[in-house]
């Protein structure tokens, strides 16, 4: 499986320059809050489809006072063939991002999907079941996009049609033919997006695919969506016709509420403990964290089987809310990792069971220092220029 050989940053977040060569497949990065641990994980997450683990815009990523920023990484396959991926400010239009693969400019982040995949868990996800449904839907869609990058295009096309239809309805005198065309687009893309979500949840719910790592609860995912209910019972084309009819009949109500009441943007996700049936929303904070970690690790295993290559696993503060038994279960699940794993934390001692099986680094003042006396990571000759 491809491994991260080096990561280089220029004027990214709090880093003026950084070049780092991981010493192992599993890497533990510790340091005080605010030192930039999450920024390192975010840099790698920007090399796969989507807007990274923070969902930030390109303009937010440049170091304060810097006009341009860049992230570059090299991955090496088992046969020794390297793959260079990079993203950063487009010099011609700094507010936009540019992407390169092996030195060649590519169109859009989706073009990098064949070269790299990644899954992640962040502390913000700890509130997934207390906050509103948009966060849960984004979590689910990230899982889908990792397996099917085209899902992002379906969502974007759907949301564009929704926005245009909302604008027409708000005007009060929209051309019915124009509305019908937009509703046709909404129906097609909503059904395609929902079908992809169903495939993902079915795969993860399969007893073989969702074999939770030892020590983690086995979880069950459920897609809460009337379109999904229709797709369970009817062909996709029939569901498109049904949704077009619902949208046309609901124009007045949608105009009054200021948005479409039906569509892919109304879906929600539910997660529960398979053994007890208890919904994650009613579980303890530690149980919720264990359920989410189990899903992320099962998803990584599913991606490895589906793509034939292990994804990069990015775990930001994964030990928060986990007791000792669950921490040890997480460490066991990462033994023999085939791809690159990055974990962060503030207390290196909590990761002690991984000594000898993982590389440890400490981060302070924008410098990443291996724990063990080796020279610190610096810019060297790997300074990535904004692309």
pLDDT tens profile 32-82: 998 999 999 999 999 988 788 998 887 789 998 899 999 999 998 877 888
Collect all residues with Cβ–Cβ distance below 8 Å to 116 and sequence separation of at least 6: 2, 47, 48, 75, 83, 85, 311, 312
Quick one: pLDDT band at residue 377, thresholds 50, 70, 90? low
The answer to whether the annotation marks 308 as part of a ligand binding site is: no
Task: Catalogue the E-assigned strands of 91-164.
Answer: 93-101, 104-106, 118-121
More confident residue, 212 or 54: 54
Residues 304 and 295: their CA atoms lie apart, in Å, by: 14
In this model, does residue 207 exceed pLDDT 80?
A: no
Query: What is the structure's pLDDT at 95?
Result: 78
Q: Mean of the pLDDT values across residues 18-33?
A: 93
Mean pLDDT calculated for residue range 274-286: 89
Average pLDDT, the chain: 88
Distances, alpha carbon 1 to alpha carbons 20, 208, 226, in Å? 20, 22, 39
Per-residue pLDDT tens over the stretch 122-140: 998 888 887 778 889 999 9
pLDDT of amino acid 381:
40
35 is in an annotated binding site: yes
Would you kindly state where each structural domain of the chain is located, as residue ranges? 127-283
- pLDDT exceeds cutoff 50 at 373: no
Q: Is 215 annotated as a binding residue?
A: no
Q: Which of 100-114, 172-186, 258-272 has the lowest mean pLDDT?
A: 100-114
Find residue 313's DSSP bridge partners.
119, 341
Average pLDDT value for residue range 267-291: 90
Whether the pLDDT of residue 261 is over 90: the answer is: yes
Stretch 266-293: mean pLDDT? 90
Mean pLDDT along residues 7-13: 95
Q: What was the pLDDT predicted at 212?
A: 65
Q: Tell whether pTM > 0.75.
A: yes
In the prediction, which pLDDT does 48 show? 87
Does 32 appear as a known binding residue? yes
The CATH code for residues 127-283 is 1.20.1050.90
Confidence of residue 383 (pLDDT cuts 50, 70, 90): very low
Which residue matches tokens 């793959």? 83
The DSSP letter of residue 316 is S
The answer on whether 172 is annotated among ligand-binding residues is: no
Q: What is the pLDDT of residue 386?
A: 45
- Rounded CA separation 321/45 (Å): 24
pLDDT at res. 84: 93
**Structure-token pair, residue 123:** 């502390």
Q: Who wins on pLDDT, 365 or 241?
A: 241
């Amino acid at each position: 499986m491809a491994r991260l050989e080096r990561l280089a940053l220029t004027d990214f977040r709090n880093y003026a320059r950084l070049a780092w060569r991981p010493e192992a497949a599993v890497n533990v990065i510790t340091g005080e809050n605010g030192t930039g641990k999450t920024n390192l994980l975010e840099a790698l997450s920007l090399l796969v489809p989507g807007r990274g683990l923070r969902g930030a815009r390109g303009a937010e990523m440049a170091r304060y006072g810097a006009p341009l920023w860049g992230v570059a990484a090299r991955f090496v396959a088992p046969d020794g063939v390297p793959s260079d991926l990079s993203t950063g400010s487009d010099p011609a239009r700094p507010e936009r991002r540019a992407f390169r693969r092996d030195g060649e400019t590519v169109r859009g982040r989706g073009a990098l999907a064949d070269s790299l995949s990644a899954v992640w868990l962040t502390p913000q996800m700890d509130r997934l079941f207390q906050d509103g449904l948009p966060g849960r839907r984004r979590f689910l869609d990230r899982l889908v996009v990792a397996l099917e990058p085209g899902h992002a295009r379906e969502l974007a096309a759907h949301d564009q049609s929704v926005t245009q239809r909302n604008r027409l309805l708000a005007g009060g005198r929209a051309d019915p033919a124009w509305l019908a065309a937009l509703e046709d687009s909404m129906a097609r893309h909503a059904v395609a997006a929902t079908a992809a979500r169903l495939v993902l949840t079915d795969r993860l719910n399969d007893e073989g695919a969702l074999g939770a790592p030892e020590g983690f609860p086995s979880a069950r995912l459920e897609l809460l969506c009337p379109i999904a209910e229709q797709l369970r019972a009817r062909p996709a084309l029939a569901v498109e016709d049904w949704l077009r009819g619902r949208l046309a009949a609901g124009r007045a109500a949608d105009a009054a509420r200021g948005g479409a009441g039906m569509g892919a943007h109304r879906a929600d996700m539910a997660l529960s403990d398979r053994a007890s049936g208890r919904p994650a929303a009613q579980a303890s904070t530690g149980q919720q964290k264990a359920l989410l970690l189990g899903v992320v690790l099962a998803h990584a295993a599913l991606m490895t089987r589906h793509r034939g290559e292990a994804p990069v696993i990015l775990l930001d503060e994964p030990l928060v809310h986990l007791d000792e038994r669950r921490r040890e279960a997480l460490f066991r699940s990462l033994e023999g990792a085939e791809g690159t794993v990055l974990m962060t934390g503030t207390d290196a001692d909590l990761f002690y069971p991984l000594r000898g099986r993982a590389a440890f680094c400490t981060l302070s003042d924008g410098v990443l220092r291996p724990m063990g006396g080796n020279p610190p990571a610096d810019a060297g000759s790997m300074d990535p220029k904004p692309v």
